[in-house]
């Protein structure tokens, strides 16, 4: 008995056997499913604080920097059921092999708060430009190797950067140029290459770091039920175009030659302690046309291709300058990523889009992208919930979130992100339709009713923004639409008349 107890304790701390994850990928549909075999869809927000302490304010509410109880309540009210939360390498491992578990405890605090409101979380090792030494964030100072940080921002000569006492450029100088240009500097691109090619064991360090993170959260057992998983790294630039131009130029070559082995290394470390949480990973940043990966990482039931959709054709205010061009680019990128998801046989998640203003043009762009997501039952996380002092964005950090610089709710944007949807669908199989038409204010749901251990289909209908006076115009095989106890207004269960028959529900606003 004593041996058995010791063995279970070991499993708890190193094997991850007691970790709880109720979400996986249905390998037939490539959509998410829960423990009741319901199709699951997630709508939500990024919560990324890129500067120290690398997490939001947790004690006092404000409209720019906090994530407290009111924030979770508001997100729930607005139909959001997931956040993509920054897990900072520099926050967790500020010195090599010196791990800051107090930082992970802060992330756990956020996860538990979200869990209280049935909001899921996945952790994102966010980076843009890798390090503050290259006008970005993400990687600890000690990761800057001796083959970088000598000529930045070369080869660009029109950028004058003052430095702080540690040699990092001043943020106010960095912001004089669009952050994306810095990716093409020799030092920033070299630093990315150092990581993906394991220069001086850097990829090994990164994998070990993620292994520690996964082990920590696996050891929490059933205290944490709403941690979806881990996103290996945000927007990998890949190898340097100055060293490997052909590989860099063709996304498929770079993905398979450099990123895929890197992802397998990191995923293996995660899986040692937490084998059944989702692992999210992206193609190379410039793989716009869908070179994709030739294979998955070997555990497709727990893998997710993460991708971002930004039109990039914006005016100085951050609005799309050409809706037609944006729609062409959006469609091209989305089709390419959906093709990748099918060929890899993994889940998919639109983990970034948005960074737009509160204008009608911007909301039209949001609607276009999210209408496409509906067609594929695709989950999404908007960039981002609040400004959080964002230093690397295509927009203004004061306008890209739900609130403007004066703390006013950008209600037009919030309205179009409070999108009606079925977040849990008890289906027997076959085609599922869950689509919202914002121009007609009509929501349509159709599926073959199944048996999900007495769990029903659940939907969100925004009664604050869209269905202020809803009318059910079609209810085939629907016995009732029942408000869910303990939830804000707008959350309903769909109770079917019969199993194994088609449910068809259409709701409009009067």
What is the per-residue pLDDT for 13? Answer: 40
**How far apart, in whole angstroms, are the C-alpha atoms of residue 65 and residue 47?**
10
Q: Using the predicted structure, report yes or no on whether residue 114 has a pLDDT greater than 60.
A: yes
User: Is the pLDDT score of 16 beyond 80?
Assistant: no
The pLDDT, as a whole number, for residue 5 is 37
Cβ partners under 8 Å of residue 331, min gap 6: 372
Q: How confident is the model at residue 29 (pLDDT cuts 50, 70, 90)?
A: very high
Q: What is the pTM of this model?
A: 0.94
Mean pLDDT of 364-381: 97
Give me the pLDDT at residue 158, please.
83
Q: Using alpha carbons only, what angle is made at residue 394 by residues 246 and 166, rounded to the nearest 5 degrees?
A: 80
Mean per-residue pLDDT over the chain, rounded: 93
CA distances from 404 to 47, 387, 487 (A): 16, 8, 28
Min mean pLDDT across 29-38, 215-224, 385-394, 408-417 is at 385-394
DSSP codes, 420-471: -EEEEE-B-SS--EEEEETTTTEEEEEEEB---TTPPEEEE--TTTT-TTEE
Q: What is the pLDDT averaged over residues 7-24?
A: 55
Mean pLDDT of 415-422: 98
Residue 380 pLDDT > 60? yes
Q: Work out the average pLDDT over 380-385.
A: 97
Residue 172 tokens read as 């106010």
Whether residue 205 contacts residue 96, with contact meaning beta carbons closer than 8 Å, is answered with yes
pLDDT tens-place string over residues 437-461: 999 999 999 999 999 988 999 999 9
Beta-carbon contacts of 20 under 8 Å, excluding residues fewer than 6 positions away, are 221, 222, 224, 225
The fraction of the chain above a pLDDT of 70, given in percent, is 95
Distance CA 138, CA 89 (A): 6
Is the pLDDT at 490 greater than 50? The verdict is: yes
Using the predicted structure, report yes or no on whether residue 7 has a pLDDT greater than 50. Answer: no
Match 């769909």 to its residue by tokens.
494
At residue 397, the pLDDT reads: 67
CA atoms within 13 A on the CB side of 171: 11
pLDDT for res 395 = 66
| Contacting residues for 223 by C-beta, under 8 A, at least 6 apart | 112
The CA dihedral of 90, 231, 20, 114, to the nearest 10 degrees, is: 70
Which residue's structure tokens are 């470390």?
A: 269
Residue 2 has pLDDT above 50, yes or no: no
**Predicted confidence (pLDDT) per residue in 32-81, tens digit:** 999 999 999 999 999 999 999 999 999 999 999 999 999 999 999 999 99
The C-alpha angle 498, 504, 505, rounded to 5 degrees, equals 110
The residue that leads in pLDDT, 315 or 49, is 49
Q: Is pLDDT above 90 for 9?
A: no
User: Nearest-CA neighbor of 301 among 229, 252, 213, 372?
Assistant: 229
Domains along the sequence of the chain with CATH? 35-418 (3.20.20.80), 427-509 (2.60.40)
Give residue 243's pLDDT. Answer: 95
Ordered DSSP codes for 24-73: EE-TTT-SEE-TT--EE--EEEEE---STTSS-BSSS--TTTB-SHHHHH
Over residues 143-179, the pLDDT tens digits come to 999 898 788 999 988 888 999 999 999 999 998 888 8
Lowest mean pLDDT of 120-134, 183-197, 315-329, 408-422, name the range. Answer: 315-329
Predicted local distance difference test score (pLDDT) of residue 8: 37
Q: Report residue 289's pLDDT band, with 50, 70 and 90 as the boundaries.
A: confident
Distance (Å, whole) CA 389 – CA 156: 26
pLDDT at 159: 85
Indicate if the pLDDT at residue 15 is higher than 50. Answer: no
């Amino acid at each position: 008995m004593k041996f058995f107890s010791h063995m279970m304790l070991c499993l708890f701390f190193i094997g991850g056997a007691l970790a709880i994850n109720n979400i996986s990928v249905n390998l037939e549909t490539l959509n998410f499913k829960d423990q009741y075999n319901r199709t699951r869809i997630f709508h939500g927000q990024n919560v990324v604080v890129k500067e120290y302490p690398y997490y939001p304010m947790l004690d006092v509410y404000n409209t720019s920097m906090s994530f407290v109880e009111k924030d979770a309540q508001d997100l729930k009210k607005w139909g959001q059921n997931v956040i993509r939360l920054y897990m900072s390498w520099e926050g967790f491992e500020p010195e090599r092999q010196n791990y800051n578990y107090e930082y992970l405890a802060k992330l756990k605090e956020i996860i538990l708060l979200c869990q209280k409101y049935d909001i899921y979380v996945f952790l994102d090792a966010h980076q843009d430009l890798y390090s503050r030494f290259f006008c970005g964030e993400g990687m600890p100072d000690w990761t800057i190797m001796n083959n970088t940080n000598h000529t930045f921002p070369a080869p660009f000569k029109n950028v004058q950067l003052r430095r702080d006492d540690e040699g990092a450029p001043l943020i106010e100088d960095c912001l004089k140029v669009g952050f994306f240009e810095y990716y093409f500097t020799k030092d920033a691109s070299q630093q990315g290459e150092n990581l993906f090619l394991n220069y001086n064991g850097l990829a090994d360090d990164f994998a070990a770091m993620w292994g520690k993170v996964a082990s920590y959260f696996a050891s929490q057992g059933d205290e944490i039920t709403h941690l979806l998983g881990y996103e290996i790294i945000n927007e990998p630039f890949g190898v340097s175009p100055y060293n490997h131009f052909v590989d860099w130029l063709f996304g498929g070559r770079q993905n398979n030659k450099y990123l895929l082995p890197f992802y397998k290394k990191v995923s293996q470390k995660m899986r040692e302690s937490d084998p059944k949480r989702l692992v999210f990973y992206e193609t190379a940043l410039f793989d716009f046309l869908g070179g994709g990966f030739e294979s998955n990482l070997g555990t497709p039931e727990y893998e997710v291709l993460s991708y971002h959709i930004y039109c990039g054709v914006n005016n100085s205010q951050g609005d799309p300058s050409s809706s037609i061009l944006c729609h062409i680019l959006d469609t091209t990128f989305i089709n390419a990523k959906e093709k990748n998801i099918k060929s890899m046989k993994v889940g998919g998640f639109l983990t970034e889009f948005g960074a737009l203003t509160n204008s009608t043009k911007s909301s039209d762009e949001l609607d276009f992208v999210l209408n496409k997501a509906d067609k594929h039952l695709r989950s999404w996380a908007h960039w981002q919930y609040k400004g959080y002092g964002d230093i690397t964005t295509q927009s203004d950090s004061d306008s890209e979130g739900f609130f403007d610089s004066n703390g006013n709710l950008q209600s037009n944007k919030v309205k179009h992100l409070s999108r009606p949807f079925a977040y849990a669908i008890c289906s027997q199989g076959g085609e599922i339709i869950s689509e919202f038409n914002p121009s007609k204010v009509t929501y349509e749901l159709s599926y073959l009713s199944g048996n999900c251990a007495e769990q029903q289909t659940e939907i969100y209908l925004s009664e604050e923004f869209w269905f202020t006076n809803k009318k059910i115009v079609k209810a085939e095989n629907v016995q009732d639409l029942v408000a869910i106890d303990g939830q804000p207004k707008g959350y309903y269960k769909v109770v079917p008349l019969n199993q194994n028959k088609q449910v068809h529900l259409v709701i409009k606003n009067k």
